[in-house]
Amino acid sequence: MGMSWHGPFGKVLMLLLCLTVWSPTSLAVSASSEDARDVVKRGTMEVGVATGFWQATTVVGSGPSANRSAVFVLPRAGMVMTDALGSGWWEGNVELLVEPLFARFTKPYAAEVAGGSLVVKYNLLSFGRWMPFWDAGAGMVWSNLAPRIPEESTQFQFVLETGPGVHYFMTKTMTMTMGVRFHHFSNAGIGDRNTGLNAFLPYIGVSVFLPE
């Protein structure tokens, strides 16, 4: 049986195909000037949005089940706070971002999540139009998944997150962004139950960097 282009997998393939065709053709005119270090400097603003698939894991922690899944939408806005640090391949700068969080759980029940995080990101500047990074954040969310699951008894949660990613400069200021994060939700012991939720969140999106 052939693959349907109307299913989720087909839609993802279509998106990736469009990005692949769009980048080298309509954006080729600016290829020679696409270098992260020329744009991502102290005072540069970043505005973007990403979407990802959140999948719980029992490999880390003591959660009773990995049957927890959600689709995340992650807008972001931030500013590069430092001049270039270090030298060689690890030369980079520090960026501070505010990242709202909206999510829709599909397993084990339909549920919503809303909140936000403060994120610190280290951008590596020595790879031309590719800009690898590592970020880490902490924040607060509300979710009506609890108290229906055994891991949590309160709808108010704290979130910790960290992971690698990469920006690819399609133009001098616009990037395609990809990454994966480890996510932890917990009520920090303010409720009767606090096993916590651990998950991995691969994501893809776009960002625009606005020099000072």
CATH number of the domain residue 69 falls in: 2.40.160.20
Do residue 131 and residue 53 come from a single domain?
yes
Do residue 73 and residue 97 come from a single domain?
yes
Do residue 151 and residue 200 come from a single domain?
yes
Instruction: Indicate if the pLDDT at residue 21 is higher than 90.
Output: no
Domain total in the chain: 2
Do residue 84 and residue 144 come from a single domain?
yes
Separation of alpha carbons 105 and 199, rounded Å: 13
The whole-number pLDDT of residue 35 equals: 92
By percentage, how much of the chain surpasses pLDDT 90?
Answer: 69
Do residue 16 and residue 38 come from a single domain?
no
Residue 85, token pair as written in the block: 């640090």
pTM for the full predicted model: 0.82
Separation of alpha carbons 150 and 58, rounded Å: 14
Separation of alpha carbons 188 and 193, rounded Å: 10
Read off the pLDDT band of 26 (50, 70, 90): very low
Q: Which domain holds residue 17?
A: 1-31
Do residue 25 and residue 40 come from a single domain?
no
Separation of alpha carbons 195 and 14, rounded Å: 39
Do residue 12 and residue 116 come from a single domain?
no
As a three-state string, the secondary structure of 51-117 is: EEEEEECCCCCCCCCCCCEEEEEEEEEEEECCCCECCHHHCEEEEEEEEEEEEEEEECCCEEEEEEE
Instruction: Indicate if the pLDDT at residue 76 is higher than 60.
Output: yes
Do residue 84 and residue 15 come from a single domain?
no
Q: Which residue has the higher pLDDT, 23 or 127?
A: 127
